Amino acid sequence: MHVNRRQFLCRSIGAALGGVSAFSALGNLRLIAAAAAATRSPAFNDYKALVCVHLGGGNDAFNTIAPCDAAHYATYAATRQGLALSQASLNANQLTPLPLGGGLPGGPPSDGATYGMHPSLGSITGGNAGLRGLFNGGKAAIVANVGTLLHPITQAQYQNDSVAKPPQLYSHDDQTNQWMTSRPDDTNADGWGGRVADMLYSGNSGELPMSITLGGINRFQRAGVVNQYALDSWQAAAQAAGVDGDGNPVDFFSVPGMSFRGDGPDSSMVPTDPARTAAYDALRASGGQANVLERAYADTTSRAIANAALLNAAMTGVRLTTRFPDTDLGNQLAAVALLLKVRASLGMSRQVFFVSVGGYDTHGDQLIDQAANLRELSQALAAFHAATVEIGVENAVTTFTTSDFGRSLTVNGSGTDHGWGGHHFVVGGAVRGGRFYGTMPSLAQYDDDHPATSNPDDTGYGQIIPTLAVDPYVATLAAWFGVSAGGIADLLPNLGRFPAANLRFLG
pLDDT in tens, 144-173: 999 999 999 999 999 999 999 999 999 999
Domain annotation covers residue 230: yes
Cα–Cα dist 412/394, whole Å = 41
The runs of H, that is alpha helices, within 246-352 are 274-284, 292-315, 328-341
pLDDT of residue 3: 35
Domain annotation covers residue 290: no
Band (pLDDT 50/70/90 cuts) for residue 143 is very high
Q: Is the pLDDT of residue 24 over 50?
A: no
User: Can you give the residue range of the structural domain that contains 438?
Assistant: 57-251+317-497
Q: Is the pLDDT of residue 22 over 60?
A: no
pLDDT in tens, 194-225: 999 999 999 999 989 999 999 999 999 999 99
This prediction has a pTM of 0.89
pLDDT in tens, 102-125: 888 999 999 999 999 999 999 886
Domain annotation covers residue 295: no
pLDDT in tens, 51-98: 999 999 999 999 999 999 999 999 999 999 999 999 999 999 999 999
Cα–Cα dist 63/45, whole Å = 42
Domain annotation covers residue 466: yes
Band (pLDDT 50/70/90 cuts) for residue 332 is very high
Long-range contacts at 339-345 (CB < 8 A, ≥ 24 apart): 339/212, 340/49, 340/387, 340/388, 340/391, 340/393, 340/397, 341/391, 342/314, 342/315, 342/318, 343/47, 343/49, 343/393, 344/47, 345/314
Domain annotation covers residue 228: yes
CA nearest to 503, candidates 468, 466, 469, 472: 472
Higher pLDDT, 32 or 73: 73
If one counts the domains in the chain, the total is 1
Region of 476 please: left (phi>0), alpha (psi -120 to 50) or beta. Answer: alpha
Q: Convert 375-388 to b/e letters by CB count within 10 Å (16 or more is b).
A: bbbbbbbbbbbbbb
Band (pLDDT 50/70/90 cuts) for residue 279 is low
Q: Is the pLDDT of residue 28 over 50?
A: no
Domain annotation covers residue 288: no
Q: Over the chain, what is the mean pLDDT? A: 87
Q: What is the mean pLDDT of residues 260-286?
A: 52
Strands 397-403 and 350-357, sheet pairing: unpaired
Q: Which of 21-30, 132-141, 314-323 has the highest mean pLDDT?
A: 132-141
Cα–Cα dist 481/205, whole Å = 17
DSSP 477: H
Percent of the chain with pLDDT over 70: 84
List C-alpha distances in Å: 86 to 198, 245, 295, 412.
Answer: 47, 36, 60, 19
Band (pLDDT 50/70/90 cuts) for residue 282 is confident
pLDDT of residue 41: 59
CA nearest to 380, candidates 349, 355, 405: 355
pLDDT in tens, 414-464: 999 999 999 999 999 999 999 999 999 999 999 999 999 999 999 999 999
Domain annotation covers residue 62: yes
Band (pLDDT 50/70/90 cuts) for residue 29 is very low
CA nearest to 64, candidates 358, 425, 364: 425
Domain annotation covers residue 175: yes
